Each structure stands twice: as structure tokens, then as C-alpha cells.
């Protein structure tokens, strides 16, 4: 396949991220307001779940270009994020997103031992959230019986910790959690729920809850994307066939919905017709997940997954990309949550991160951080 378009977009991304980084002057971006990023650490705290994606983007581009400025800014961001560890104000299951893309990426690239210890610290905190009767990792601190589909990306921190320490406990927790998510949040048709509610004491399943989707029984597209990527990665780490089966089931459902909206996913595949909401962040995450899945699926399915990933990237770029160096954010059209109108179809930092990771995957030059 001719990948000239991939190279061209990576060059534009490199130039734009350098311009954004200069404007940010050490601040941490999340979502631009009136075309410009603010500092999400000041607005939502050092423990905001998405605070690692800017660092992840910087590390990916440093790995690709070797430009020192990307590394320097990523190190500054890591120090800002580490404040959340010692303050321990609202540490939650998203420590995977936060420190895989910062400290673990740093360690993978440089062998830095403090970055290693920080990543292992985060992994121990995540392992400590395991409910031993329900076999799940608790998502948030105010609901000890809840776990969510997003966690399938966070558990990858535990597989990293087991590989690094030769301690199987981390991986065993991750695998048991993944099996629980597969049983209670992945439906037979491949759609997924966002939140599974359990009795925290007995571990008994109660119900699925709506979360960031339209309703409890809807199909929030970003949740679908987390599941595709998360279960594909879990198969990578465990080689247990059950996880490959689940990843393919969710991927096939996602692909079946793409044509309804010209390859830019709806924010929720089972939402009412109005408002007509899209979510490019789901497209970018799913693209990475489909490319990962293509590595492991049988040959015929592998080609389908690869092509679907390309379609998602090209459709989202064509409709929503903003390459202007004077405005922040590249991939617009991201919807933070179905019931949050203030954040309908906006640029989101994780859209840009996964867009870049997907492009680098297509080039065979992505830093593996999961």
C-alpha cells in the first residue's frame, strides 16, 4: 500500500505539535477553547485521567524524529504528573493511561530507573484496586462496586509490571479482570456497555449502567474502541484465545456500524437519531486497536481490520483535521460524552495521540507503550 499520505501527515503533525508545545510553555493540554489550549492541570487537577496523552504524543514524536525538544517537554510533563502520585488525592484506575504514556514510555526509550520505579509504583496502586471476590478492578473511588470498559487499556500497565519484575501477580490480576469485563460488559452481538455495577462486598453482578453513552443498553462508540484495542492487547500479552475471540467480536460490530456515518463513528451506535453526534476519538482509538488486531487475526480478517483502520483515519482527517499552526488540536469532531453538550464534536488530546500512534503503526515506527 502506498503510504505517502501517512508520511505527509506525520510531517505535518510533527510541525504542528512543535508549535503547540511552544505556545503551551509547559502547560498540559486537553481540549482547546476558541482554538487554543489551556492548562488542564490547573483546571481539572494533576490526576485528570487524560493527562498522560500529551506526553505520549511527545514521546512518540521523539521516537520518530529524535528532536530533543519533544523529549525535554515530555520529561517536564512527567514531573507535573508525578505530583498526583504523592498527593494521592484522587488516584483511580486510569493510572495506566497516565503512567504508561509518561514514565513507562520514558523508561522504554531511555532505561531511566526512576521512571521505571514510578511506573512500578503506579502498577502497584492499580493492583491494589482489585476486588478479590468480584475479580475486577474498581474504577473510581466513590463507587467501589463499579468497573468500566476503559479499564481494558489500563490493565496493560499490569502486564508491563509482570514482564519487568517476573512477578506473575500483576498479570494474573489483569487477566481475571479482563475475563470479568468480557463476561459482563461485552454483549453477544459485539456491542459493549460502559459501566458494570457489582455488589462490592459479595462481588455479585447487579447491572450495566449508562456512563458516557446514551443509555445503559446503548453502544457508546469510544467504549467499543477501548474494548477492541484493550482485548487485542490482552491477547498479545497472554495469548489466551478467548481474548482474541472477544476482540474480533467487538471489532466486527464496530465495522458493521461504520457505513452508517461515512466511516466517522457516531458517538453512540444506538443513540436516537438526534442529536446526530460523531466521535473521532472513537475512530482513532479503534484504528489503533484494529491495527493491533490485524497482527493476530486470521489472514482474511486481518486484511479487513487493516483496511477499516485506514478508512477511519482517512475519513476523520478529511472531515475534521485542522492543520493550521495558529490553532491548537488537529483532529476535531471528538465527543467527550453523550450527555455533555458543551463538549460535542471538539478536538481532544487523546484523538491526536491515537491518530499519531496509528500513523506510526502504519509506518512500522510506533513506540510500543502498552
Beta-carbon neighbour count of residue 222 at 10 Å?
30
How many structural domains does the chain have? 1
Domain annotation covers residue 21: yes
Q: Where are the beta strands (DSSP E) in the chain?
A: 130-131, 136-137, 146-148, 195-198, 205-209
Distance CA 104, CA 106 (A): 5
Which domain covers residue 206, as residue numbers? 4-363
Gap between the Cα atoms of 252 and 190, Å rounded: 7
List per-residue pLDDT tens for the chain, 370 residues long: 478 999 999 999 999 999 999 999 999 999 999 999 999 999 999 999 999 999 999 999 999 999 999 999 999 999 999 889 988 888 999 999 999 999 999 999 999 999 999 999 999 999 999 999 999 999 999 999 999 999 999 999 999 999 999 999 999 999 999 999 999 999 999 999 999 999 999 999 999 999 999 999 999 999 999 999 999 999 999 999 999 999 999 999 999 999 999 999 999 999 999 999 999 999 999 999 999 999 999 999 999 999 999 999 999 999 999 999 999 999 999 999 999 999 999 999 999 999 999 999 999 999 999 9
Q: Which of 312, 275, 293, 258 is nearest to 370 (CA)?
A: 293
C-alpha cell at 282: 472513537
What pLDDT is stored for residue 86 in this prediction?
87
240: three-class secondary structure by DSSP? coil
Query: Is residue 368 one of the residues assigned to a domain?
Result: no
Q: What is the rounded CA–CA span in Å between residue 142 and residue 90?
A: 10
Distance CA 185, CA 24 (A): 38
Q: How far apart are CA 275 and CA 91, in angstroms?
A: 34
Q: Is 142 exposed, middle or buried (0-12, 13-18, 19+ CB in 10 A)?
A: exposed
The SS3 assignment for 141 reads coil
CA–CA separation, 39 vs 224, rounded Å? 29
Strand (E) or helix (H) holding 71 = helix 68-87
pLDDT at 178: 99
- The answer to the question of residue 226 being in a domain is yes
Burial 19-28 (b: 16+ CB within 10 A, else e): ebbeebeebb
In a domain, residue 290? The reply is yes
CA distance 325 to 196: 42
Rounded to an integer, what distance in angstroms lies between the CA atom of residue 66 and that of residue 99? 21
* φ/ψ (deg, to 5) at 36: -135, 140
Decide the pairing of beta strands 195-198 and 205-209: antiparallel
Q: Please indicate, yes or no, if residue 369 is contained in any of the structural domains.
A: no
Contact 224, 286 (CB under 8 A): yes
The pLDDT, as a whole number, for residue 69 is 98
Predicted pLDDT at 142? 95
Query: For residue 153, is it within any domain?
Result: yes
Which CATH number do you get for residue 349?
1.50.10.10
Q: Answer whether residue 232 is part of any domain.
A: yes
Give domain status of residue 199, yes or no.
Answer: yes
pLDDT at res. 340: 95
Neighbours of 90 (CB within 10 A): 14
Amino acid at each position: 500500500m502506498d503510504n505517502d499520505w501517512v508520511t505527509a501527515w506525520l510531517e505535518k503533525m510533527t510541525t504542528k505539535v512543535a508549535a503547540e508545545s511552544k505556545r503551551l510553555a509547559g502547560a498540559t493540554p486537553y481540549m482547546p477553547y476558541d482554538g487554543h489550549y489551556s492548562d488542564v492541570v490547573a483546571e481539572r487537577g494533576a490526576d485528570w485521567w487524560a493527562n498522560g496523552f500529551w506526553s505520549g504524543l511527545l514521546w512518540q514524536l521523539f521516537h520518530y524524529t529524535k528532536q530533543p525538544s519533544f523529549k525535554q517537554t515530555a520529561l517536564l510533563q512527567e514531573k507535573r504528573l508525578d505530583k498526583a502520585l504523592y498527593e494521592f488525592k484522587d488516584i483511580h484506575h486510569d493510572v495506566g493511561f497516565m503512567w504508561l504514556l509518561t514514565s513507562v514510555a520514558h523508561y522504554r526509550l531511555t532505561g531511566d530507573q526512576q521512571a521505571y520505579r514510578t511506573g512500578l509504583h503506579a502498577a502497584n496502586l492499580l493492583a491494589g484496586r482489585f476486588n478479590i471476590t468480584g475479580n475486577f478492578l474498581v474504577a473510581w473511588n466513590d463507587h467501589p462496586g463499579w468497573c468500566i470498559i476503559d479499564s481494558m487499556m489500563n490493565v496493560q500497565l499490569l502486564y508491563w509490571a509482570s514482564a519487568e519484575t517476573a512477578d506473575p501477580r500483576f498479570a494474573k490480576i489483569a487477566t481475571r479482570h479482563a475475563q470479568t469485563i468480557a463476561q459482563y460488559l461485552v454483549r453477544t452481538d459485539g456491542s459493549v456497555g460502559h459501566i458494570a455495577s457489582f455488589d462490592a462486598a459479595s462481588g455479585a453482578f447487579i447491572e450495566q449502567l449508562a456512563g458516557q453513552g446514551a443509555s445503559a443498553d446503548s453502544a457508546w462508540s469510544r467504549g467499543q474502541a477501548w474494548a477492541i484495542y484493550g482485548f487485542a492487547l490482552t491477547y498479545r500479552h497472554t495469548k489466551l484465545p478467548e481474548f482474541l475471540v472477544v476482540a474480533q467480536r467487538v471489532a466486527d460490530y464496530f465495522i458493521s456500524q461504520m457505513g452508517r456515518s461515512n466511516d466517522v463513528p457516531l458517538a453512540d451506535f444506538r443513540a436516537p437519531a438526534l442529536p446526530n453526534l460523531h466521535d473521532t476519538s472513537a475512530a482513532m482509538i479503534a484504528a489503533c486497536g484494529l491495527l493491533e488486531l490485524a497482527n493476530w487475526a486470521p489472514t482474511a480478517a486481518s486484511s479487513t481490520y487493516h483496511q477499516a483502520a485506514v478508512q477511519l483515519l482517512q475519513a476523520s482527517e478529511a472531515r475534521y483535521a485542522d492543520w493550521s499552526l495558529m490553532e491548537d488540536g488537529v483532529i476535531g469532531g471528538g465527543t467527550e460524552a453523550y450527555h455533555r453538550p458543551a463538549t460535542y464534536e471538539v478536538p481532544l488530546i487523546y484523538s491526536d495521540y491515537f491518530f499519531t500512534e496509528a500513523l506510526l503503526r502504519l509506518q512500522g515506527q510506533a513506540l510500543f507503550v502498552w
